[in-house]
Amino acid sequence: MPDTPAESPADMQTPDRPTWDIFCRVIDNYGDLGVCLRLARDLARRGVQARLWSDDLSPLAWMQPEPVDGLACRPWADSVRAEPGDVVVETFGCELPDSFVAAMAARSSTPAWINLEYLSAESYVERSHGLTSPQFSGPGAGLEKRFFYPGFNDRTGGLLREPGLIDAADAHDGGAWLAVRGWAPAPGERVLSLFAYPHAPLAAFLDALGPGWLLLLCPGAPQQALPPLLRPGQRAIALPRLSQADYDRLLWSCDLNLVRGEDSFVRAQWAGRPMLWQIYFQDDGAHGPKLEAFLAQSMAGAPAPLRARWGALSRAWNGLAPWTPEAAEALRELPVAAAHARAWRAGLAAQADLTARLQAFAGLPGGA
């Protein structure tokens, strides 16, 4: 995505169109930047002037190839000379430049300063959502930072969902979309997308999966590691990098989606298809309780056999339990899993979306 020109409307602060600054640092994957781009783009399309500041903008060339009216993407270093907007979003604990914080404190009208945290279904999210951190010293002395936690119920910050997303997913012709790109399944084949970390237990998964599958492999280590492991009746296609819009269409086109991290995890839920989540591994084991908390919420309304089998599959896929016949059986009951995925999506869609809640949290028009 090319830099928005300096004279772009996204850089021109006007009273009738609030300006939001969203800061993101790229650590080891592009999921954080993906979340920030979706938020900034959604804000811009809702009439906000959005500026996305990042230390690595190169992935935007394929995530969002076309410019978005009202969205400016700027190098992190340039923020030292910028005038802060009405709302400043510090994502995932990244620390703002001292000079920018000092400029925030010097504004005649204090900006809303929000720390957007990682998504989790754990109980601490409800307790922590909305907490404040007054700044008593340093360049931001006198300001107040507030914490915004995404989540799966109305006591949290909700999930990113742009207007019209569910209707677009349901109207999508997945077969035609795959065929145009040369990724169509053969007669009788089912299709899955696979976006996974390098340590994914691919061989055990392929054993459990069985024949009759076309695997569409997103960029990453599995594109090289998986093809030699294919079992009889399985084939794979390595995909190029996709824009966020096309990645959504990929999810809508598959019978099963394997996703990782946070951004693809949320988008797979909006697809309304069975989804297997590879959670981000943490050395201290914190990913285990995080997975269990999500399973407890997302599978609460599922039939008991599906709940037990999908839990066994999820734990095995994440290296938290051995592969068992119960885990493999989950892959044999995809119609039941698909019905539950749509029911879970419907419940989430009945709640206000994250962007609307964030606008209300900031105290500006347009929020829920």
Nearest to 281 by CA among 157, 180, 196: 196
Cα-trace Rg, the chain: 21
The CB density around residue 333, as the number of other CB atoms within 10 Å, is: 16
Q: Is 154 a catalytic residue?
A: no
Nearby residues of 101 by Cβ (< 8 Å), 6 or more positions away: 138, 139, 140, 143
Domain that holds residue 153: 9-159+352-361
Q: How far is CA 207 from CA 196, 219, 230, in A?
A: 17, 22, 9
CATH number of the domain where residue 135 is located: 3.40.50
Does some domain include residue 3?
A: no
User: Which residue in 21, 32, 42, 353 is the catalytic one?
Assistant: 32
Q: Is 98 a catalytic residue?
A: no
User: Which residue in 42, 86, 262, 263 is the catalytic one?
Assistant: 262
**What percent of the chain clears pLDDT 70, i.e. is strictly above it?**
94
Q: 299-318: per-residue pLDDT in tens? A: 999 999 999 999 999 999 99
Q: 118-177: per-residue pLDDT in tens? A: 999 999 999 999 999 999 999 999 999 999 999 999 999 999 999 999 999 999 999 999
Residues 316 and 201 in one domain: yes
Residues 303 and 191 in one domain: yes
Residues 192 and 325 in one domain: yes
Q: 104-133: per-residue pLDDT in tens? A: 999 999 999 999 999 999 999 999 999 999
Tell me the mean pLDDT per 10 residues along the chain, length 368. 38 71 88 95 97 96 95 96 96 94 95 96 96 94 96 97 98 98 98 97 98 97 97 98 98 98 96 96 89 97 96 97 96 96 98 97 74
Total domains in the chain come to 2
